[in-house]
Structure 1
Amino acid sequence: MKCIVKSFLLMLVLVLGAKSVVLADEHQCKKITASGNSEYPPYLWKAENNTNLSGAISLLINDLSQDLGIEIELIYSGPWGRVQEEVAAGRVDMIAGAFFTIPRTNYMDYLYPEFQATKTAVWYNKQKPFVFSVWHDLKPYQGVTVINNSFGEAFDEFAKSNLAISKVASLQQALQMLSAQRVDYLIYEENPGQAYANRSGLQNLTTHPVSVTEENLYLTLSKKSKCNTPELKEKISDLLKTYQGQNRMENYLRSALGMWAKFDA
């Protein structure tokens, strides 16, 4: 009888142990799905296959994937607003390039340090110039920006209460509106705005020398992602520090600008 009980207990331990191994394996992070703003050259844009994303951040992600030993697939998952929804729902693990806002911390964790500092500019039509040195100078004018974009907590709150800024679906649409003088200014980052303006031949647009804000770009992980573990976040942070010390983003941006110039949109 004792032998039967011992055998039964041994089998139970083996079965439970096997199940634990299976469950643990199911929760391991074997692949990270990342996405980002597909209208964000030279940082990101939709690749020629219309499935993945190319750009400077793509080059960063490729190196990060190799050094982590984990596949990171950088996919196109729709407009910027939908990307954020996908991450909030846990259907996409990572955002590859996001500004910090308090509301976003409800559904994703920011990975430190930042990988790039950016400058947000006031774009205007050369045929309709105006003076800009502080945010309040924008009050008399009609502005435009791209929906679901943030330019820092402070400016977002100021704009919401004090400025007349309409929101459109794409940067291309916003630039065309400004070029046609349907609005007085555009709030958008300098590098992506210039990339699109150059490509579209919009030579009548330029930026004020004073920036609206200067913000940092971060990688983030969805709070609902099984890849969101302290161990992985620490590894990514360590690698970002290494890349920062090596000034890798400068090389990524240089390469991406060449790629964007040749890209057949």
Structure 2
Amino acid sequence: MLVRIFTFCFFLIGIHAHVNAKPNCQSITMSAHPNYPPFHWRSGNTLTGASIELSEHIFSELGVKAHVVYMGPWKRVLKSAKDSKVDFIPALKKTLERKTYLDFTKESFAANPVAVFTRKGEIVQLNGLWQLSRINGSINAGDRHGELIDTFLKRQPNIQRIHGIAQNFQMLSMKRVDYVITGLMSAQNYLRSNRLENKFDVVLQLDNYEVHNAFTQHFSKKCPQVVKQFNLRLNELKQQDKITPVLKHYQQVWLSLSDKNQHSPP
């Protein structure tokens, strides 16, 4: 079982005055993708990771109690947000469809490049997505990577949507697909933790992509002051460059836990 880490962020985040929140705004329910390290991942019946810890501490500063819940697969998390069963989702891609039920923070949480992975040595570096049009690819079911990539994928008849990053790379390894498009950081963490990084190449990296935090529109309308103050505090942390160290820390946490799990006795 993965272990949650609480101590790292305390020295990064100072204590600010609490928001004078309405009684029905003094708690918030948060969930996220269950397998997206170092941003967040499942740990038993809850979630941990850089976005979880930082969001919890910001809410704590604002006098808002954050309840972190594991909701299951990513599609279920998004459905729960649509149904207002979840109030807040940290570190996800901003898309037009998600904007119909989520209010994204003005300030992005972090950069999150998207990459095209292929089998080692089979494809040279690409100049653009258009070069993938005639070969078979896959993407993690439910993932979104921004309008440019999502529009490209919708137009490709030879794209499979496969549940789970492990299954996507397994299909690539078995030559069932020729490439996988996914978030660079989460994929690299998966490959390193499973000692697979020497079996695949990054042939195209798209850097102008970010993840944002998002409140459900129901919560935003009910508690606009909390949303406003969260945005301000997030902006302060970015200006002080205090988010990157937390991401690096949780990357090491994830790799250490994965290595420990691999070497634990059966």
* Contact 2:47 2:68 (8 Å CA) reproduced: yes
Residues 105-158 of structure 1 show CA distances to partners (whole Å, capped at 9, x for unaligned) of 111111121110110000010142244111110011100110111111122112
Match of residue 150 from structure 2? 156
Match of residue 166 from structure 1? 160
Residues 65-105 of structure 1 show CA distances to partners (whole Å, capped at 9, x for unaligned) of 22212111222111111110001100011111111111111
Match of residue 181 from structure 1? 175
Mapped to 2, the partners of 1:190 and 1:46 lie a distance apart of 19
1:39 is aligned, of 26, 35, 39, to 35
Deviating 4+ runs (over 4 angstroms): none
Structure 2 counterpart of 1:38, one-letter code: P
2:80 maps to 1:51: no
CA root-mean-square deviation:
1.9
1:29 is aligned, of 21, 25, 46, to 25
For structure 1, the 5+ residue unaligned runs are: 1-23
Shift of 1:241: 0.8
2:119 is aligned, of 118, 121, 125, to 125
For structure 2, the 5+ residue unaligned runs are: 1-20, 262-266
SS across alignment from 1:141? coil
SS across alignment from 1:91? coil
* Contact 2:59 2:230 (8 Å CA) reproduced: no
2:82 maps to 1:91: no
Which residues in structure 2 correspond to 1:1-265 (within 5 Å)?
28-47=24-43, 50-162=44-156, 164-202=158-196, 203-208=198-203, 210-212=204-206, 214-225=208-219, 228-264=222-258
Bigger proportion of residues as helix: 1
Structure 2 counterpart of 1:122, one-letter code: V
State percent identity of aligned pairs: 25
Mapped to 1, the partners of 2:207 and 2:246 lie a distance apart of 23
Return the TM-score normalized by structure 2.
Answer: 0.84
